[in-house]
Amino acid sequence: MKIFLDTAETDVVRKHFKSGLIDGLTTNPTLIRKSGKNHEDVYQEFKDIGLTDISMEVIGSDTNMISEGKRLHKKFGKCATIKVPCTVDGLTACKELAESNIKVNVTLIFSQAQAILAAKAGAAYVSPFVGRVDDNSFGGLCLVRDIAKVYDVHGIETKVLAASLRGVRDAARAFEYGADIVTMPPNVFSGMYKHILTDAGLKQFDKDYAESIKE
């Protein structure tokens, strides 16, 4: 059971990494663009923080994804997990990279069938997009469950990395439904610490402690 952050905000990652609870990181071109930084500078900052599993997205034709994936792996080492889309070109690249002992995260997974193909191509991770599936009136968490079930039946080693999670409840339930890894925005991770009853209990304990030391 692992928790990844989904962000390109290096300062935020640095803060949360100190907790010892963050196992890796996912990001994408949109998040990196919003950061205003070069994507490889962002990857280097994450590596310097101490992250050992960073999904680095590649795009274009299969040959471009293969060459770029190999270049990123050579530059950043074992912390580089190459992120490709679940397309014909993406899975062609996945197979070639996996055969070169490079970890691949196949993203934009919206069906059990896609997850099966990604596993056949040698993906280390598949990323079903829970929130986006929900947006289209289907059950995102049910998709996580269905992928986890077929992998378990056939002894597939590919890990289910639940993505596009918008809230704490979905993040927690993704693990319940069989996800090996859950990636989430920093605000969702921060929300996992919180509960109204914890706050109330802590307030009461602080009050009782303050009164006890007066006695």
Positions annotated as catalytic residues are 83
CB 188 within 8 A of CB 164: no
- End-to-end CA, the chain: 46
User: Token match 């809230």: residue?
Assistant: 167
Q: How far apart are CA 80 and CA 165, in angstroms?
A: 23
Structure tokens at 151: 């992998």
Q: How far apart are CA 40 and CA 163, in angstroms?
A: 22
Closest CA to 57 of 107, 7, 8: 107
Vertex 185: Cα angle to 184 and 188 (nearest 5): 80
Q: How far apart are CA 113 and CA 161, in angstroms?
A: 16
Q: How far apart are CA 62 and CA 18, in angstroms?
A: 37
Q: Helices 112-120 and 140-154 meet at what angle, rounded to 10? A: 40
